Amino acid sequence: MKFASSPLLSQLLPAWRSRLVAVVLLGAFATLGGRSLYLQVVRNDFLQQKGESRYSRVIELSATRGRIADRQGDVLAVSTPVKSLWAIPEDARLTPTQARELAALLEMDVRELNRKLAAEHEFVFIKRQIPPDTAAKVAALNLPGIHQQNEYRRYYPAGEVAAHMLGFTGVDDNGQEGIELAFDGQLAGKPGSRRVIKDRLGRIVEDVESIKAPQEGRDIVLALDSKIQYLAYTHLRQAMAENKAKAGGVVVLDAKTGEVLALSNLPAYNPNNRVKLTGAQLRNRALTDVFEPGSTMKPFTIALALEKGRFRFDSTIQTAPGRLTIGNATIHDAHMHGLLTVAQVIQKSSNVGAAKIAATLAPEEMWQMFDALGFGHPLKLGFPGEAGGRLRPFKTWRPIEQATMSYGHGISVSLMQLARAYLAFARDGDLVPLSLAKVDTPPLAGKSVFSAQTAREVRAMLEMAVQPGGTAPKAQIPGYRVAGKTGTAHKLEGGGYTDRYVSSFVGFAPASDPRLIVAVMIDEPSGGKYYGGEVAAPVFAQVMSGSLRTLGVAPDAPLKPLQVAQDGTRPASIPVVRESM
């Protein structure tokens, strides 16, 4: 039987089955066509994005951080280009030999390198901010999965000389301390971005387009003078070594403009190498540390008494027998002076005299004066951790507390606050705001605290303090009239006073027309001397002398031999006068 005549073929299939197959096939083609139309027309952006994600990348373009310069234009901080090394751990399959070579170039422990490459992350930094020459050597190894990116590292040419003024940036070039933090918004700039095409190894093969151009940071010109800053740092370091002190600080202000020309603290640190940085080195003591200022506060008490008309320049006060009992406490002078004028209370630094003057003043009057001078609240210069000091409400003062505050005990200040307060005497009784940035137009007048007459009278008293018979003959400078006041205070710890001291001196020159204020603080001198006139006053003289000559300030006094011997001892013709505590 022939196949064509098979009875099976004579049976016809049902018509619905053929129609069903046709409908299913047409439906399948329609679905594919619809899906194709949907993906290629309606969801075209989605497919494009998925495709580009395989090769297209948006990379960040770092903005160059602005430079910091001193008032003369000398660069104090600048960002230099460096490289950072990163890896995709899944792709970074290094042989033991390759790992050792890379670790050696990066000065890393090979075990630390292997630990990073074994991390279960899509991205890991191997080392940040490596020099360009080292990066070039790494690139020459052509290691799989190891990539580089451009970054910037901050460099500080002055090193530790200006460390506390400038501060430093972190690994991401953001301000962490000092000027770098205070002016971070202006210095940082804003990063940009570009679209590029990379191959599977992460190498850029084509630069497609710029999305956003980086906005470079702004340069900052500081009020700081590098030469004066170096003088402050050098002489402070010398005094610290000679007196075996724990710490110290120096602040130099321009009395005409309120500019901060120098700020130095010790211990210091090198901002270019902060591997072994400690908290003691980091502290900006002139702004963050407070101390009882001792006798440097007496001029303010006397200025208020003159202002209120309670005393005159030549009014007399009996300080004998060198002690004064108030309640259960007794105030002492280091030496008995007997009858003193108000001016001599400053010159001899009599605690008893200052306390008797303060007793004629109302607590509220003293508090208002301290508050107007800026004590008790931060100066708001923008530095991190800036302290406001301690000034309790006047309603809580007891008579003995008012008496001790008159000569700088029971109140605490920062060195910067103290230096600024002396502007009231260096100027005609007014205070101007301090400025870290260079001032182009000096302020004509500031906030009035004392009358011009009072300021001039106290200025004359402060001149007497550095002359023979005063507490600070070592503050004298050949060719210049100097005015200032010493301070020596026991340190307060655990609710009681210890046998450790803070020695200080604040003064200005030329006294005929003050240009500069220099404040010095030496913490815990242990070399056998601790009075402010012996420890801090010589630092003032050295810094002030060099600074006046650096600025070309004309002398206002005839040149004559100093009243202090060159070896630091007093000649026999000068009476030894110790400052009261």
Q: What is the 3-state secondary structure (H, E, C) of 129-182?
A: EECHHHHHHHHHHCCCCEEEEEEEEEECCCHHHHHHHHCCECCCCCECCHHHHH
Output the CA angle 333-336-339, nearest 5 degrees. 110
- The 3-state DSSP class for residue 372 equals helix
Angle between helices 298-307 and 351-358 (to 10 degrees): 40
Catalytic residues: 295
Element of type H or E holding 505: strand 496-509
HEC per residue, 48-108: HHHHHCCCEEEEEECCCCCCEECCCCCEEEEEEEEEEEEECCCCCCCCHHHHHHHHHHHCC
Q: How many angstroms separate the CA atoms of 510 and 501, rounded?
A: 29
Q: Around Cβ 196, how many Cβ atoms within 10 Å? A: 16
> Can you list the positions of beta strands (E) in 425-475?
430-431, 447-448
User: What burial letters (b/e) apply to 264-298, b meaning 16+ CB within 10 Å?
Assistant: bbbbbbbbeeeeeeeeebbbbbbbbbbbbbbbbbb
212 strand-pairing partners = 193
Q: Which two tokens stand for residue 192?
A: 């940009």
Phi, psi of 570 (to 5 degrees): -80, 135
Structure tokens at 540: 């003032």
> How far, in Å, CA of 231 to CA of 214, rounded?
39
CA-based radius of gyration for the chain: 37
Question: Which of helix, strand or coil describes residue 280?
Answer: helix
Side-chain-side CA neighbours of 18 within 13 Å: the count stands at 4
DSSP string covering 480-496, please? B--EEEEEEEEEEETTE
Burial class (CB in 10 A: 0-12, 13-18, 19+), 568: exposed
9 Cβ contact list (under 8 Å, min separation 6): none
- The token pair at 254 is 């321009």
